[in-house]
């Protein structure tokens, strides 16, 4: 049994389907294969612009997923209403801009405390776990605790995009320190964004990180190797390096 968990984001299967606005490939089928390959949760992001995941996907995934459904979402009134209706196991609150290619930057929890705290309370009351997607920054970590979230997801995008060893190490160290601090104040920690087969292993070694959420690299690798093999290969990397995460 591996301890470090893997959540696979199936948004990009839907991106491919939406290229033809048809029924294939179906993220619901992809989720089943990811689960059979051994992942621990399925992640999907119902964006306000519905560029990939559609409402139907979320409702069907809720019925078919056997592991855990982690719904990424922005705090728009419409999406909050859908989340409360679907009741995923967990919501991960993310910032969302229409013009972005993917989620850029973490949530500004300290700058939007009242709104976030209010919504965290609503989800918890409905029996839905809450994770806040934030930069590895002390102020945002403290604000996440104050907002009542059980989990944070540390944004690994800057680490993934860092050019050169020095910068990469600097960004990795921020994630390491942020994890340590978050755990010390009672938060549980996940991490994700931009992680792939070459850069995930140093993150696996960070003590305190419970789950990696990975989408693009796994779905991309699946084009060449098949989805089951792509998920298994990532799990294999995680299993090797997590040994140092205890
Ligand atoms: N975690 C969060 C909160 C995200 O928004 C995303 C992108 O949808 C991911 C993880 C996965 O990122 P990637 O597709 O780059 O692996």
pLDDT value at residue 105: 84
Q: What is the pLDDT of residue 97?
A: 72
Res 180: pLDDT: 98
Structure tokens at 122: 């609503």
Determine the structural domain holding residue 27 and report its residue range.
Answer: 5-243
Q: Report in angstroms the alpha-carbon separations of 55 from 48, 116, 154.
A: 10, 23, 26
What pTM did the predictor assign?
A: 0.96
Structural domain count, the chain: 1
pLDDT of residue 101: 67
pLDDT score, position 69: 98
In the predicted model, residues of the chain with pLDDT beneath 70 are: 1-2, 98-103, 245-246
Provide the pLDDT for residue 1. 46
10 Å Cβ neighbour count for 246? 8
Distances (CA, A) of 30 to 42, 61, 172, 235: 10, 10, 31, 16
The pLDDT, as a whole number, for residue 48 is 95
The CA 44 to ligand 1 mean position distance, Å, reads 9
Distance CA 80, CA 42 (A): 19
3-state secondary structure of 168: helix
pLDDT at residue 246, as a whole number: 52
213 lines ligand 1 (CB under 6 A): yes
Ligand 1: atom nearest CA of 94 is 3
Centre of ligand 1 to C-alpha 43, Å, is 9
Q: What is the CATH number of the domain that holds 166?
A: 3.20.20.70
- Cα 196 from Cα 217, distance rounded (Å): 5
Asked whether 173 and 179 are in contact (CB, 8 A), the reply is no
CA of 122 to the centre of ligand 1 (A): 24
């Amino acid at each position: 049994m591996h301890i470090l968990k893997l959540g696979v984001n199936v948004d990009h299967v839907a991106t491919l389907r939406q290229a033809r606005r048809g029924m294939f490939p179906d993220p619901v089928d992809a989720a089943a294969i990811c689960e059979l390959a051994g992942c621990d949760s399925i992640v999907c992001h119902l964006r306000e612009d519905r560029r990939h995941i559609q409402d139907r996907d979320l409702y069907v995934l809720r019925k078919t997923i056997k592991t855990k459904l982690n719904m990424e979402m922005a705090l728009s009134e419409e999406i909050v209403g859908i989340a409360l209706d679907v009741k995923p196991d967990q919501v991960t609150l993310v910032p969302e801009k229409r013009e972005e290619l993917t989620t850029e930057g973490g949530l500004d929890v300290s700058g939007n405390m009242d709104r976030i705290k209010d919504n965290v309370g609503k989800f918890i009351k409905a029996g839905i776990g809450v994770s806040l997607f934030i930069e590895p920054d002390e102020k945002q970590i403290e604000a996440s605790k104050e907002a009542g979230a059980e989990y944070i997801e540390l944004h690994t995008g800057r680490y993934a995009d860092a050019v050169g060893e020095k910068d990469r190490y600097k960004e990795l160290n921020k994630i390491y320190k942020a994890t340590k601090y978050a755990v010390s104040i009672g938060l549980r920690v996940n991490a994700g964004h931009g992680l792939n087969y070459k850069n995930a292993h140093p993150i696996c070694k960070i003590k305190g990180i419970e789950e990696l959420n990975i989408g693009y690299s796994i779905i991309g690798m699946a084009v060449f190797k098949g989805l089951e093999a792509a998920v298994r290969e990532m799990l294999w990397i995680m299993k090797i390096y997590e040994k140092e995460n205890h």
